[in-house]
Amino acid sequence: MAVYEFIRNILTLLRESEALSDITFLFAYPSSQKPVPIKKITAALGGEEISVTAGALGGVYGGGTGRDAEISLSLTIYAPYKSGGEECIKAFCRICEEAVFSESAYVKSFKCSSVSSNRDADAFVLKGTMVFGGEITKEDE
């Protein structure tokens, strides 16, 4: 699958999760999609870093088009001031749990920063990273 399709699939997986139905999921870009002030927990997902190596079968048989990849996605969680900064941490943990137990995503790791206050978003904010492993292919033209 192509990189953009991968990000979209992870976003769809999280949006469709019954356990995460109280969280609004958005693409990180364009940032104008995010409502201000934040009225409910919102998570923005975007591409961060991609590390690629030749796919095993493609290297052996010469006909493979896929590449083994490690894809890091940024995950920024916003929580309204009235709900408290702890809600960012709770949401991050719930999102991680949902991704780990998904059958369609191979999660390698997660990390996050501390919760901070963001006056521009009028919310508490936690920035994190989700790292997935898998195979990517060239996008069809």
User: Per the confidence metrics, is the pTM higher than 0.85?
Assistant: no
- The dihedral built from the CA positions of residue 119, 125, 131 and 135, taken in this order, carries a sign that is negative
Distance CA 75, CA 129 (A): 6
The partner residues of 108 in beta bridges, in order of sequence, read: none
- The answer to whether the beta carbons of residues 113 and 73 sit under 8 Å apart is no
Paired tokens of 7: 């990000």
Which listed CATH number (3.40.630.10, 3.30.70.920, 3.40.50.980, 3.30.2000.10) goes with 3-136?
3.30.2000.10
- Angle between helix 86-100 and helix 3-15 axes, rounded to 10 deg: 110
- 12-31 pLDDT per residue, tens: 999 999 999 999 999 887 66
pLDDT of the residue at 130: 93
Confidence check: pLDDT of 97 > 90: yes
- 68-79 pLDDT per residue, tens: 888 899 999 999
pLDDT of the residue at 141: 45
Structure-token match 């052996």, residue found: 60
pLDDT of the residue at 2: 66
